[in-house]
A = this chain, B = another copy of it.
Amino acid sequence: MVASFKKQIVLRFSRNFLDILVLRLVQAEPMWGYKIIKKAETLFGIKLRHGAIYPLLNSLEGSGFLRSKQEIQGRRKRRVYEATPKGTQFINTYYDFLNEQLQMHDIKE
C-alpha cells in the first residue's frame, strides 16, 4: 500500500512540478532535453514526454530560469541548458518551502 502511495505521489509531483524537476536536474549538471528525459527515467523511474519537455525548456528560458547554448559536434546539434541565478533562486525557495512543510510535521510528532 505504502509503495503505491509513493508511486502516486512521485507521479503527481512530476506532473505538477515538472518545471522544478527540470530545474533541479539542470542545476545539478547542465544538460539538454533528451538527456533530461533519460535522467528522469533512470534516477526517478519517471517517463517524460518529449512533447512536454521541449516547450517547457523554451518557456523556462523565455522567463529567465534557464539559459542555453547550442552545442555542435559535426552535424549533430543539441541545446544545452543551465540554470540562471533566477532559476537557482526559485528552486532554493522551493526547498525552503519543503523545509517549512516538514517542520510543521516534526512539531506534531
Q: Which of B90, B98, B104, B108 meets A101, CB within 8 Å?
A: B98
| B108 A5 Cβ-Cβ under 8 A | no
Q: How many residues of A contact B (CB 8 A)?
A: 28
- Asked whether, in the complex, the Cβ of B98 is within 8 Å of the Cβ of A6, the reply is no
User: With the chains together, A1 CA to B90 CA distance in Å?
Assistant: 9
- A to B CB contacts below 8 Å, 9 in the list: A2-B89, A2-B93, A5-B90, A12-B16, A16-B17, A24-B105, A95-B101, A95-B105, A99-B102
Q: Which 7 A-B pairs have the closest CB atoms?
A: A16-B16, A5-B93, A9-B97, A95-B105, A98-B98, A5-B90, A98-B102
Residues of A within 8 A of B (CB): 1-2, 5-6, 9-10, 12-13, 15-17, 24, 28, 86, 89-90, 93-99, 101-102, 104-105, 108
